[in-house]
Structure 1
Amino acid sequence: MYYIDGFSKFVYSQNLASGVRLTLATLIPCLIFQHYGVLDTMMPFALGTLLIGVTDNPGPHNRRRNTLLATIFFSFLSSFVTIWIQSYTWLIYIAMAVFGIFYSMIGVYGNRANSVGSIGLLVFIFTIDENITGESAYQHVLLFMAGGFWYFLIFLSLDRLRPYLPAQRLMGENFVLLGELLSVKARFYMPKPKYERLYDKMVPLQVSLKENHEVLREVLFRTRQFVKDSGNKSRTLVLMYLDSLDLFEQILNSQQDYRHLNQAFGDSKILRVFGIYITWLAEEVQHIGVAVQAGAASRSGRDLAEGFHKCELAFYRYRADRMTQENVEDFIMLKQVLLSMRDITERVKKLHLATRYEANHTEELHSLAGPDGIVPREDLNPRVLLDNLSLKSTYFRHSLRLTLALLVGYSVSLVWEFGHGYWILLTIATILKPAFGITKQRNIYRIAGTFLGVLTGFLSIYWIGNTTVLFVIMMLAMVVAYTFLKTNYFVASAGITLYVIIGFFFTNSDIIGAVLVDRVIDTLIGSAIAYVFSMFVLPSWESDNLDVTVLEALESNQGYFNAVSSVFGGGAFDLESLKHHRKEAVIALANVSEAFQKMMSEPKKQRVKLEDFHQFLATSHMLTSYMASLSSYAQNVGGKFDAAGFVPKIREINRNLDTAVTIVKRTQVDRIDVIKQALPQNEQLIQMLAAIRKEVRETGREGVENPELSRNLSDLRTIDGLFELINTLTVDIVKILNKLF
């Protein structure tokens, strides 16, 4: 990616926009209050703006609106109840238990509900420290509510003024992710690729792209309804989205047997030539993403036509020199790579033109909704919450763990009276997460970020006497904190600590020394409590749920395989069914990858057969990728070839997958040792291959006399090869699972 694009990507990113918006929404009223000398009284207003604004995550207008309103309501409830019971310690304990469990449990409804619950709990913790009664209590609650509604008005205004801006930013991030995925693909063609490491990088990128596509689809659908516009910009964004889906499909479907390619052509430079050009394409896609975020027209930084022509020329020259009757099939595979590069090149050229938002689009706009014709709705059925009220539920175990940790932290703050004891509770609430690995990571980041923020704050205050400079530093710290809050918790923690310390210096410079000490001590105590409870109180280890995670991956992959292979077995092609099963397979693969990452952070004694699990992850990814490639042929050539050549292969692969499922379910008495056997040969392929070899022998070139035969052979050989690869992987999976379970 060009260096200038890297900087532009950050400048125009959704995260930076959120950080700047939240910082200005908070600081501008504070400056006005300071001018009139009422800043101390109006601090609840600023706190309300800050906390409510944190929940404003990218998404459709109606869901962002509902999330903000729900956060305002629950924050009001938390602050109102807490203010009236703060004089009674025993009531605070009860409220902490109720709020701790409730606000943690509503996370079962998804990330937005989880953010609402987190802020509701933080508001409760902040309000515990307030010593106010009577009319001051009403004033505190009303000011906090006013701050929340102030941010809500900003949200409404910006969405009215620039309704397509969120969609553009998400679209740009989508193309940047596509470019990163293509860049990883390019490394498979470089000398001595590290296959497992590259597969590990591809999994999270594919998952991120799937999630981005879902959010982007909803944003575009709701935005077009919101502004009631089908003008040029609206249509162009929709077409870009559809093109991005096609590009994602092309990248997924370009999966090859990279080990075999390197064995066949590793001694030549042809793979490196391909890899360099694919890297060019990756940079172009990312460049398009940055341009879309910036609202500017993108132009190619390289001559793609000339670059592809050189790849094409290199291939045909190399084929003329090295192709024989024995390696015809290898060259067919290599040509498939060349054709994929050509298709992606044409798509990239089209996307460059689309960034100009020119009129006269003639393409038909397909529905952005799901198969049922509407955007999926969030399930807020109370039954979902009730069904999770069990110790078998990860959410319920986490809610109990967090509540008990908060009760202990509150007791510690009462026994040892610190200046800002509520910081202990804040640390616990922000660090303690359902998974031990995430808690451990956030613990380290919180402590390191706090120390960095305290050190930077100390040096800034005692070395810089100019209050204007200090204010600028505080403002930049806020921007950094809320820009990286969801992506880099270490940086966010350092930024939050820095602006809090400088903020205390502005309000009361006499206590700044005590604030620095309190911040460090409270953070260390809260981190220690969070770590102990995550380790010993109702811990959730990934190895305990390994069978469920693996079984979901197996069953979703088998469903995906059956949806794809049925076309070659004589069945009808069902695009919606295929997309549904592919989505399920990708989600299940993401869960396996997430489970592996969490297990990596757990104590060594809990990493049960970690190496075997990693082999299952890598093999499952390759299996899903080859199925995606097979689905491309199912869609393009369908039932063109004789089904009799594929039915035995489909049956054998399903038998292996059934065996794998029985191993995980432990329904078999004896272990089944599956030995890889050669699949029945495809007679139609044998006949085609004999004809093309004869043609090569007679003419010295592939497909000159009979180009139709050459094309059919290329398709059929690739399809047959994909079945062979899928069969090999299913055998490997059975062997891995025999060791894993």
Structure 2
Amino acid sequence: MNHSAELKKFITSQYVYSAIRITLATVLPCLVLARFGLLKEYFLFPLGTSFVALTDQPGPFIRRRNALAFAVISFVFVAMIASFVMNIKVLVFAEIIVFGIFFSLIGVYGQRLAAVGSLSLVVLAIFIDGHLTGANIFKSLLIFASGCIWFLLIFLVVTTIQPYKLASQMIGENYLQLAEFLKIKANYYQKNPDFDKLTTQVIAKQIEIKNLQEETRETVFKTRTIVNESTTTSRLLMLMFLNSMDIHEKLMTSESDYQKLQQSFEDTTILVKIHDYLNLLSDEITNIGISLQIGIRAKTITNLGEELKNLNNDYFELRNKRISPENFENFMVLRQILMRINEITKEINEIYKVFSQNVKLAKSLSTGLDLKKFMPNEEKLNIKVLKNNISLSSSHFRHALRITIALLIGYLFSLFQFLGIGHTYWILITIVAILKPAYSITKKRNMLRLYGTIAGAVVAYAILHYIQVNELLFAILLISMIMCFSFLKGKYFWAVLFMTIYVFLSFNFLSPGNVNIIFRDRIVDTIVAAVITSLVAYVVLPVWEHTQNLDLMKKSAECNLIYFQSVISKFLEEGFDIQDYKVKRKNAIISLANLSDNFQRMISEPKNQQKKLEVVHQFVATSHLITAYTASLSQYVKDDEKYPEIDADGWSRKIEAEMQKVCNLLNGNTITETLNMESRIEPEDSSLDDLIMKRKKQLTENETYDLRDPDKISHLTELKNIHDILELIYDVAKEQRKVIEKYMIEESVEFKPSTP
């Protein structure tokens, strides 16, 4: 592992940048207040700042600004109501019910408002018993509101000064994820690879890439300064993001029959050399990503031209020594892989070229795409959407009920003083932080929260016991805050650990000498909240992932069929629309990632809820292969090359019939005889067979050619690869149909009424 590159990736990421901004926005007022001895009296100011800051989700400027403004209004309103009714227990329970349901339910409008809703409930927890309000409620509310507005002002200033910073960092992260994806793909070429493990890693990485691409699309395509301006920076960022998606597709087109490849060349070093070269490409993509995150021009770190030349020479030397009528088709496959590697290398070199564009060339950097078609779908802020989700059939409403019930139980527990619970708010905050719509996520966060809290408490206790220098404690507090906010999205255990440390240190500055009480209360409150969330998540209207499987499988099968139809249309000469193709490619990748993500969550659920786990796993695997093989086929549709030797019509009808069978089975429709007949069509690629026989005859007569042009590939090699890909798509589609038949049989047996 390149530790230097890993450190740069972390330090230059949007998460660290955002964490530093939140920390400074929170701590600087504390320093000023502490200087005048007012920190304890005005502690609600930095508290309001940190709460609003945590709602700031990546996205276009206008949406972020509006969400922050809504957060300020929501927080102040919740704090005011909670402060006024805190001594009337009946009204306290009523506000928990109203706020719990409303602020959980607004998650139907997306992650941004879901974050505002969650933090609004945290504000409720903070103000519910008045321990921070003091005697003068209006003064406290004014201080809190001022802290909330303070971060909104900081946001407006920073985004005005650096309008492109977030987009640049997010696009850079896309490249970093692609570099990791390429490293996984490279491992298919190492000695004795674990194919099952690598396939699992590829699918998991696809989920990460899909989620990141969706977030980046929203940020880039809906930021007016990027879409509308013709500055070098705006056009550069747009091109860099679109290029990242093209690289993603090229990496997907590198799908091959790796087991057969290993068997064919296991006694040579060519595959290991491919592995090493792909890792060099991965390092270059990493370099591009880091440069984008920092905001500097990227420069190559390796002479790719020389390394690629050596790799191609190794292939040609092996080919000239070993090629024969028996194995020349294996060399065709290997030649095709090298061509893909050449194309990825060219793409990377082109990105470096784009990176060096000057101001005069800025206006020439145009996409030519209707960007609206690539935007992620999201619910509009329509009251009807909220009303339609007030139903037990809505997973959002079920989650709202779960979190409300959990908050009521948590508050009820805090009223029993004999339990030794010292801080009502921490139980409620922990419940809000842990309890998520998906049971698997709740379960995982529950354990991470508990372990992180215990570990953080022990570390903080040791720090306060052995260190008495306030300046050093303050430095540790700053570092802990930055690390907490940096890890909050990706590494929850570490986020909780550092959060616990800075909370302990904060309380120590406000009220020195109470570390033993804080230690005990923090642990007890976390354990109580963990028990409550575990029980509620399992008992109260849970939404198990297996209930989503069928709909997600339908969507994936349908999108794969449409994606294949879009690609094969070029071979059928039906008019190929590159923009339409890219939209369908995006939809296929997103639906596959959603299905894979759902399956991964199902694995973490109780065993009795892992319905037809093996069958669903097989469907996910076959869906991944169909998408990948279709992407491989698509590499032949972007030029004017014709392939009349391929019976495109026969293959189209055969494969589409098999894929349509899958869709019919999933939708409960019958399979017609027409589909059965078309799926049995034998495509007439006779001219291809003749060309192969001719080539075998040439090899038998020792007619070999030492062609050294790495940028050219024989027409026969392309034809053979197209034929093999079409065969693979059909075989996988057929296998998927059998998987679904098994799924439907198990489904009917499960719901078949028992005989009296």
- Same fold (TM > 0.5): yes
Distance 1:286 1:589 in 2: 25
Deviation at 1:707, TM superposition (A): 13
Q: Cα gap change, 1:34/1:720 in structure 2, threshold over 3 Å: closer, same or farther?
A: same
Question: What is the match of residue 646 of structure 1?
Answer: 648
Q: Cα gap change, 1:655/1:705 in structure 2, threshold over 3 Å: closer, same or farther?
A: same
The 8 Å contact of residues 424 and 523 in structure 1, kept in 2 or not, is answered as yes
The code of the aligned residue for 2:654 comes to: E
Distance 1:459 1:710 in 2: 66
The code of the aligned residue for 1:77 comes to: F
Distance 1:383 1:643 in 2: 55
The 8 Å contact of residues 232 and 358 in structure 2, kept in 1 or not, is answered as yes
The 8 Å contact of residues 568 and 643 in structure 1, kept in 2 or not, is answered as no
Q: Cα gap change, 1:402/1:566 in structure 2, threshold over 3 Å: closer, same or farther?
A: same
Deviation at 1:104, TM superposition (A): 1.1
The code of the aligned residue for 1:195 comes to: F
The 8 Å contact of residues 207 and 594 in structure 2, kept in 1 or not, is answered as no
Question: What is the match of residue 405 of structure 2?
Answer: 404
The 8 Å contact of residues 169 and 292 in structure 1, kept in 2 or not, is answered as yes
Q: Cα gap change, 1:396/1:15 in structure 2, threshold over 3 Å: closer, same or farther?
A: same
* SS of 2:637 mapped into structure 1: helix
Question: What is the match of residue 271 of structure 1?
Answer: 271
Q: Which runs of 5+ in 2 are unaligned?
A: 745-756
The code of the aligned residue for 1:165 comes to: K
Deviation at 1:701, TM superposition (A): 2.5
Is 1:101 aligned to residue 101 of structure 2?
yes
Deviation at 1:484, TM superposition (A): 0.6
- Equivalent positions of 1:404-553 (< 5 A) are 404-416=405-417, 418-553=421-556
Distance 1:502 1:368 in 2: 52
Question: What is the match of residue 606 of structure 1?
Answer: 609
The 8 Å contact of residues 253 and 635 in structure 2, kept in 1 or not, is answered as yes
The code of the aligned residue for 1:682 comes to: D
Deviation at 1:116, TM superposition (A): 1.1
Q: Cα gap change, 1:286/1:651 in structure 2, threshold over 3 Å: closer, same or farther?
A: same
Query: Residue by residue, what CA displacement relative to the aligned partner does 1:97-156 show, whole Å, maximum 9, x if unpaired?
Result: 111111111111111111111111111111102158898222222222211111111111
- Equivalent positions of 1:130-209 (< 5 A) are 130-131=130-131, 136-209=136-209
Q: Cα gap change, 1:141/1:684 in structure 2, threshold over 3 Å: closer, same or farther?
A: farther
Q: Cα gap change, 1:331/1:214 in structure 2, threshold over 3 Å: closer, same or farther?
A: same
The 8 Å contact of residues 10 and 16 in structure 1, kept in 2 or not, is answered as yes
Question: What is the match of residue 749 of structure 2?
Answer: none
Deviation at 1:673, TM superposition (A): 12
The code of the aligned residue for 2:182 comes to: L
Q: Cα gap change, 1:680/1:223 in structure 2, threshold over 3 Å: closer, same or farther?
A: closer
Distance 2:345 2:535 in 1: 54
The 8 Å contact of residues 674 and 734 in structure 1, kept in 2 or not, is answered as no
Q: Which range moves more in the overlay, 104-113 or 578-587?
A: 578-587
2:665 paired residue among 657, 663, 666: 663
- Equivalent positions of 1:277-288 (< 5 A) are 277-288=277-288
Deviation at 1:282, TM superposition (A): 0.7
Q: Which range moves more in the overlay, 706-715 or 351-360?
A: 706-715
The code of the aligned residue for 2:496 comes to: S
Distance 1:608 1:249 in 2: 33
The 8 Å contact of residues 174 and 212 in structure 1, kept in 2 or not, is answered as yes
- TM-score normalized by structure 2? 0.92
Query: Residue by residue, what CA displacement relative to the aligned partner does 1:380-431 show, whole Å, maximum 9, x if unpaired?
Result: 2222222222222211111111111111111111123622122111111110
Deviation at 1:577, TM superposition (A): 2.4
Q: Cα gap change, 1:459/1:705 in structure 2, threshold over 3 Å: closer, same or farther?
A: closer
Q: CA RMSD in A?
A: 3.0
Question: What is the match of residue 3 of structure 2?
Answer: 3
Distance 2:556 2:702 in 1: 48
The 8 Å contact of residues 371 and 576 in structure 1, kept in 2 or not, is answered as no
Is 1:593 aligned to residue 617 of structure 2?
no
The 8 Å contact of residues 696 and 702 in structure 1, kept in 2 or not, is answered as no
Deviation at 1:358, TM superposition (A): 4.0
Deviation at 1:694, TM superposition (A): 4.4
Question: What is the match of residue 347 of structure 1?
Answer: 347
Distance 2:261 2:176 in 1: 28
The code of the aligned residue for 1:328 comes to: F
Distance 2:227 2:13 in 1: 23
Is 1:734 aligned to residue 731 of structure 2?
no
The 8 Å contact of residues 2 and 283 in structure 1, kept in 2 or not, is answered as no
Deviation at 1:571, TM superposition (A): 1.9
Query: Residue by residue, what CA displacement relative to the aligned partner does 1:262-304 show, whole Å, maximum 9, x if unpaired?
Result: 2322232211111111111111111221122223343333321
Query: Residue by residue, what CA displacement relative to the aligned partner does 1:674-698 show, whole Å, maximum 9, x if unpaired?
Result: 9997943412322333444444455
Distance 1:303 1:389 in 2: 60
The code of the aligned residue for 1:387 comes to: N
- TM-score normalized by structure 1? 0.93
Q: Cα gap change, 1:382/1:369 in structure 2, threshold over 3 Å: closer, same or farther?
A: farther
* SS of 1:634 mapped into structure 2: coil
Q: Which range moves more in the overlay, 271-280 or 361-370?
A: 361-370
Q: Cα gap change, 1:373/1:686 in structure 2, threshold over 3 Å: closer, same or farther?
A: closer
- Equivalent positions of 1:51-130 (< 5 A) are 51-130=51-130
Q: Cα gap change, 1:258/1:679 in structure 2, threshold over 3 Å: closer, same or farther?
A: farther
Deviation at 1:259, TM superposition (A): 2.3
Distance 1:661 1:311 in 2: 43
The code of the aligned residue for 2:393 comes to: K
The code of the aligned residue for 1:278 comes to: L
Q: Cα gap change, 1:415/1:397 in structure 2, threshold over 3 Å: closer, same or farther?
A: same
Question: What is the match of residue 747 of structure 2?
Answer: none
Distance 1:706 1:254 in 2: 20
The 8 Å contact of residues 48 and 147 in structure 2, kept in 1 or not, is answered as yes
Q: Cα gap change, 1:377/1:527 in structure 2, threshold over 3 Å: closer, same or farther?
A: closer
The 8 Å contact of residues 164 and 223 in structure 1, kept in 2 or not, is answered as no
Question: What is the match of residue 716 of structure 1?
Answer: 719
Q: Cα gap change, 1:164/1:513 in structure 2, threshold over 3 Å: closer, same or farther?
A: same
Distance 2:88 2:676 in 1: 66
The code of the aligned residue for 1:50 comes to: S
Q: Cα gap change, 1:46/1:642 in structure 2, threshold over 3 Å: closer, same or farther?
A: same
Q: Which range moves more in the overlay, 304-313 or 289-298?
A: 289-298
Count, aligned residues: 740
The 8 Å contact of residues 695 and 702 in structure 1, kept in 2 or not, is answered as no
The 8 Å contact of residues 292 and 355 in structure 1, kept in 2 or not, is answered as no
Q: Which range moves more in the overlay, 364-373 or 442-451?
A: 364-373
Question: What is the match of residue 587 of structure 2?
Answer: 584
Deviation at 1:440, TM superposition (A): 0.7
Q: Which range moves more in the overlay, 700-709 or 241-250?
A: 700-709
* SS of 2:720 mapped into structure 1: helix
Query: Residue by residue, what CA displacement relative to the aligned partner does 1:157-178 show, whole Å, maximum 9, x if unpaired?
Result: 1112222222221222121111
Q: Cα gap change, 1:373/1:624 in structure 2, threshold over 3 Å: closer, same or farther?
A: closer
Distance 1:693 1:377 in 2: 56
* SS of 1:144 mapped into structure 2: helix
The 8 Å contact of residues 642 and 684 in structure 1, kept in 2 or not, is answered as no
Q: Cα gap change, 1:375/1:103 in structure 2, threshold over 3 Å: closer, same or farther?
A: closer
Distance 1:99 1:286 in 2: 45
* SS of 1:633 mapped into structure 2: coil
Is 1:558 aligned to residue 528 of structure 2?
no
